[in-house]
Amino acid sequence: MDLVAGWMQALFAALLNMALAAAVGVAVLQTAVSSTATSVRLVGMARRACVLLGIGLAAYLCAGTVAMTETLITGLPAALWLVLTQSHFGAMIWVALTAWIMLMVATVSSAWQIRDGLFGVGLIGFALARAATGHAADQGFVSFSVLIHTAHVLAATAWAGSVGICVLLTSDWSHWQLQQRSALAHRLSEVATLALLVVVGSGLFNAARTLGHASNPWGSAYVWILLAKLCAVAIAAGLGARNRWYWLARLDRDQVVGAKGFRRVLLVEAGVLLVVLALAAKLGTTMPA
b/e string for 3-17 if b means 16 or more Cβ within 10 A?
Answer: ebbeebbbbbbbbbb
Phi-psi category of residue 254: left, alpha or beta, with phi > 0 → left and psi -120 to 50 → alpha: left
Low-confidence ranges of the chain (pLDDT < 70): 1-6, 109-113, 135-141, 212, 214-217, 219, 289
What percentage of the chain carries pLDDT values higher than 70? 91
**Rounded Cα–Cα distance for residues 52 and 21 (Å):** 11
DSSP 220: -
Give the pLDDT score at 110.
65
pLDDT digits (tens, 9 = 90+) for 258-267: 888 899 999 9
Give the pLDDT score at 113.
66
Give the pLDDT score at 123.
95
pLDDT digits (tens, 9 = 90+) for 42-61: 888 999 999 999 999 999 99
**Rounded Cα–Cα distance for residues 236 and 259 (Å):** 19
What predicted TM-score, i.e. pTM, was given to this entire model? 0.91
Distant-in-sequence, close-in-space partners of 26: CB < 8 Å, separation ≥ 6: 42, 43, 45, 46, 49, 114, 161, 165
* Interaxial angle between packed helices 256-284 and 221-242, expressed in degrees from 0 to 180 and rounded to the nearest 10: 170
